[in-house]
Amino acid sequence: MHPFFLFSRRAPLITSVMMTLVLDLYGQTLGVYHNYTETTATLQTYATLYPDLLELGSLGHSVLGSEIWYARISDHLESEEDEPEVRYISTMHGDEPVGTELCLYFIDYLLGSYGTDPRITDLIDNTDITIVPLMNPDGRDAQVRWNAQHLDLNRTFPEGALVDIGNLLDGPPMDTSGRPPEVVHIMEWGAANRFTLSANFHTGALVVNYPYDNDNLGSVHSPTPDDALFIHLAETYSSHNGPMWNSPWFHHGITNGADWYAIDGGMQDWSYRYLGDNHVTIELSDIKWPSEGSLPSLWDNNRESMLSYLESVHMGIRGIMTDATTGLPLEGTVRVAGNEQAVFSDPDVGDYHRMLLPGTYDLTFTALGYEPVTIYDVVVTSGAATRIDIQLESIPVYLEADFDEDGDVDGSDFLTWQCGFGLQAGGLHCDGDADADTDVDRADFLLWQSQFGSFEESQILGPPIPEPASGILLLAHLAVFLVRGRFSVHGPIIV
């Protein structure tokens, strides 16, 4: 995961007591606004000072060539673990810079408290945290909302309200065509990982906005299948921010996105629909660009909110999906009865994390080529996630040897198979050029296969299908077919 350019420089760790002094020596300070160059220098400083806790990398470049930095914080940066992945993303609108500063504060807080504060240590030890402080560096340096193409990055994600955009494992492939590079990078990064919980930061209001922003109903309340969960998550954030919780405009400082105003192409809806990621939009200040002197108080108002929100990822049901025979991790889907929203296991480890409120649930686990499994009456409490590890059995695949479909498996089937591949036997020769392209090759075999309702190329495993010159090898395989009548294997067919 995170297959992107990395910045890494080994250096001795430094204590949190010395952190402010060292940052000052590097020319970096918190509580002031950072442009792109200053943000870059600050992140590189943290990567140097905390090489065992922070991985600094780039998701790609902006229109004008600036890096879109991410800072990943984990106790085991070198490996994938059975942990939920969470992320904060900020300043996709360049004239809303407060989130960048709160992200830098938060990075400093986590790194400086690890090993001394049990709560922070536990969070980092059990959660994979990634922070993108500045998604729109070109807009930030120009102090405008848009990117350098004059596009609103929060209106250019695929919109799933009217069109089926599918999800990670089902439906149409991810569509990045014609989108600004900053959006493409975020989309590709999201699809390469399995984020369970996310938020993106804005200013111009003081509220937590949760999906849907658009469900083709207009500017009215448009709930997701996880509406109650999203209300809980939004209030988890707002309840620790006094000014937000006591908003005169939004009850408890939260709102359904479309109920506030509907938009097309928003990041949070795409993340939820396509990635299965519980994603909200957090507006940090009624003033879009508040004075620099207000940054410390904004951090004070949001510190506990930012921490509590990420901690909530550990609620619900979690586990690992594996192959029952090999024990290898599986990429699959987890669905809750009565809720159409899918979440997905991580193919690297097989871990899944389904956030749920306390209750009793039935869950169905599926993976391509495996028998689905349903587990009933799983109890979720208000504490740590309930663990359900699941092993799936591969589906047996049968290839019938009655190729001429006359009801018998006999010599004529043997000849039919041969003819399909242009082989000679008993004085008989058949033209195997099924697609009439003058070559007898794998494409002809697959076309011929389809006539018998057989299997696609993606389901064939092992050596390449032999060409006519390799007919002896094919005959040896066919002898097994004729003796047994049909060939049953677990998993893909080998011919």
Q: Provide the annotated active-site residues.
A: 283
Q: Are 345 and 357 in contact (CB under 8 A)?
A: no
Q: What are phi and psi for residue 132, nearest 5 degrees? A: -110, 95
User: How many other β-carbons are positioned within 10 Å of the β-carbon of residue 49?
Assistant: 21
Nearest Cα residue to 398 out of 461, 484, 487: 487
Q: What are phi and psi for residue 300, nearest 5 degrees? A: -60, -40
User: How many other β-carbons are positioned within 10 Å of the β-carbon of residue 338?
Assistant: 8
| Cα distances (Å, whole numbers) of residue 143 to 88, 92, 96, 288, 347 | 21, 12, 8, 11, 40
User: How buried is residue 129: exposed, middle or buried, by Cβ count under 10 Å (0-12/13-18/19+)?
Assistant: buried
User: How buried is residue 10: exposed, middle or buried, by Cβ count under 10 Å (0-12/13-18/19+)?
Assistant: exposed
H-assigned helices in 401-470: 411-420, 442-451
Helix (H, G, I), strand (E, B) or coil at 263: coil
d(CA 405, CA 403): 5
Q: What are phi and psi for residue 385, nearest 5 degrees? A: -60, 140
Q: What DSSP string describes 129-186?
A: EEEES-S-HHHHHHTSSS-TTS--GGG-SPPTTTS----SSSSSPP--TT--HHHHHH
Nearest Cα residue to 209 out of 157, 283, 135: 283
d(CA 15, CA 19): 7
Q: What are phi and psi for residue 315, nearest 5 degrees? A: -100, 155
- 65 contacts: CB under 8 Å, gap ≥ 6: none
Q: What DSSP string describes 233-255?
A: HHHHHHTT-HHHHT-SSSGGGEE
Nearest Cα residue to 479 out of 409, 380, 405: 409
Q: Are 123 and 307 in contact (CB under 8 A)?
A: yes
Q: Are 329 and 345 in contact (CB under 8 A)?
A: yes
Q: What are phi and psi for residue 388, nearest 5 degrees? A: -130, 100
